[in-house]
Amino acid sequence: MVLVSLCTMPMLPRAQDQAPNQLSHLSGNAFLSADLLAMQKDTSSNPVQLWLEQGRKLWGSAQQAATCFECHGDVQSMKGVAAHYPRWSQPKQQLVNLEDQILACAQRSAKPMKGLEDPDVLALSALLHQGSLGQPFQVTVTPTDKVQWQAALNKGADQFTMRMGRMNLSCTQCHDLNIGKQMRADVISPAHPTGFPIFKMSWQSMGSIDRRLRACYSGVQAEIPSPGSQELRQLELFLKMRAQGMPIDGPSLRR
Ligand code: HEC
Ligand code: HEC
């Protein structure tokens, strides 16, 4: 298996070394503490490695029946695929992200998975994201469904700027207007989606972008969209358009 390993990741610019107006182009990885950054670089202590290993196991091999391998061959065939999600599904007439696709495919395999945050889904998501490491997102409109795709993107953009919750704050107010500011134990990043899925120390688990977005709704005490809802997929689409040109640098660690 010659997927790019995490230790070959380019040296990241660090948030504290940048002028404030440069911060908006930085990945969440640039906001890691020195300790977490060191852990991320050290393959022997980085928990992400275990998840990648589990992902490779689940993918399966030519010797095993009804695995991902049986239909898709070597995981190399999935190189670059993660960069295209969320994409518009014509049959479903809605956006699907990578975890949705993995979950749907798991129903075709010998090992059905229980939901979007099933550790097996996340392990496979980590593996497939690693296969797109360094590539920019390429979320694009489906030629047959241009209008629907554009509407979904617009909804995501609206959601990003809409005030919500008991704190009456929008995503923009934190992630555009207060980047670099301390908020409790966190430094606010521009909320780029490049580092997902994330192993978050406070969760003691890998988590998807779906879960992270729900945590932000919870943070401002707004009604939390249900897992897998189109609202979250529309936001994900918007965030990936907003991060255009930035390389995928996940899976990664978070506080
Ligand atoms: C009150 C401030 C606040 C609001 C409002 C808020 N967030 Fe966050 N968000 C945070 C903090 C703090 C973190 C953790 C540190 C970081 O990565 O910015 C975070 C993390 C994130 C991350 C993870 C970035 C990474 O690389 O790990 C994403 C994506 C994100 N937010 C998106 C959103 C979206 C979309 C909204 C609106 C629905 C939103 N946030 C609303 C404070 C906020
Ligand atoms: C029985 C055959 C079968 C099995 C087993 C299977 N898949 Fe799939 N997979 C498909 C088909 C068919 C598609 C085309 C899209 C669709 O119909 O969902 C697909 C599409 C995909 C895609 C999207 C590729 C792209 O270019 O966007 C991903 C990712 C994927 N599968 C992952 C997996 C994973 C992970 C597993 C193991 C848990 C798996 N698949 C098991 C049949 C299978």
CA of 106 to the centre of ligand 2 (A): 8
105 within ligand 2 shell (Cβ under 6 A): yes
Residue 70 has a CB neighbour count (10 Å cut-off) of: 15
Ligand nearest to the CA of 15: 1
Contact 123, 54 (CB under 8 A): yes
Question: Looking at ligand 1, which atom is closest to the CA of residue 169?
Answer: 5
Of the chain, the percentage scoring pLDDT greater than 90 comes to 90
pLDDT in tens, 132-173: 999 999 999 989 999 999 999 999 999 999 999 999 999 999
pLDDT of residue 14: 76
Amino acid at 55: G
102 within ligand 2 shell (Cβ under 6 A): yes
Angle at 209 between CA 31 and CA 215, to 5 degrees: 80
Rg (CA), the chain: 18
pLDDT in tens, 164-211: 999 999 999 999 999 999 999 999 999 999 999 999 999 999 999 999
pLDDT in tens, 82-137: 999 999 999 999 999 999 999 999 999 988 899 999 999 999 999 999 999 999 99
pLDDT of residue 202: 97
The encoded tokens of residue 23 equal 């911060």
Closest CA to 193 of 146, 139, 155, 147: 139
165 within ligand 1 shell (Cβ under 6 A): no
Residue from 160, 175, 229 to probe ligand 1 pocket by mutation (most atoms less than 8 Å from CB): 175
